[in-house]
Amino acid sequence: MRPNFLIHWTGKDIAVDALTTAHRSAYVDRLADILTHGLWMTQPVERIEGKAGSWIEYTTPLTCFTEIRLSQARLHSHQYGLLGIGVTRQFVLDRFGGPVHYVRNHASECIIGNVQAIRAALNDLGRQDLLDSFAVNTCYIKKMSEINQDDFTYLNEQEWRIVHTHAQTTAGRLVQTGGRRPEYRIPVQLGDIRIIVFPDEQTRAVARTDTRLYAWFQAPAPSGAILLTVQECEHF
């Protein structure tokens, strides 16, 4: 059975090893910022190679989640950060999100060549409206491995994404910040966050005393979130 929870990991820019008091405080600040203002939509540069020199590249604002089981959290969190924000699959689906389509990042990959050919045909037709729609679909394509490798490094992440669309912004499910980093966020309400994974017990203890987080931690079920540490996740 596939898990119903999807986890967004953050904090690699803070620290993933040898946590200090300052690191733990920064993680709590990051959590308070997310619960107050919403999840960041970052703009990673994704490039995937295909057959006959074809390629796609995009820098669209998006937010990534993983469907891996919590028992696998330690390895994944050390790649992306030790703070996990867990939502349901329905939360992502309601924002037009979904699982990515993994393809080979390889000179023999036909899907990338097909994408490039379709874009060229739409461009020749002058159909900017369809190009814009197709661009959203393209942002759900992700490479399994680095170029011409088949080690399935990224396939194991079982990634889901929410990709920015103007329709979702108009509906209020995404909000524009007025800045560039990030340009968009995904607002969250009490009850949207079902699991919070902390780097360690000390960080969780600091968070419990933070007045910015009191309402989130004191909310009764089903609105309240389960509070775990990365180490505790190994038992799930």
Span 38-83, pLDDT tens digits: 999 999 889 999 999 999 999 999 999 999 777 777 777 888 999 9
pLDDT at 218: 82
pLDDT over 90 percentage in the chain = 75
Residue 84 has pLDDT above 70, yes or no: yes
Token look-up 């050919």 returns 117
Note the Cα 168 to chain centre separation in Å. 16
- Terminal-to-terminal C-alpha distance of the chain: 14
222: pLDDT strictly greater than 70: no
Cβ contact 169:73 at 8 Å:
no
Give pLDDT, residue 175: 95
What pLDDT is stored for residue 22 in this prediction?
Answer: 98
Cβ neighbors of 162 (< 8 A, separation 6 or more) are 41, 62, 63, 65, 92, 95, 96, 97, 174, 186
Q: Please return the burial class of 165, using the count of CB atoms within 10 Å of its CB with bins 0-12, 13-18 and 19+.
A: buried
Domain ranges of the chain: 5-233
User: Which tokens go with 30?
Assistant: 């990051």
Cβ atoms of 58 and 138 within 8 Å: the answer is: yes
Mean pLDDT of 27-32: 98
In total, the chain counts a number of residues equal to 236
pLDDT digits (tens, 9 = 90+) for 153-199: 899 889 999 999 988 998 899 999 998 889 999 999 989 999 999 99
Q: What is the mean pLDDT of residues 111-122?
A: 94
pLDDT for 225? 87
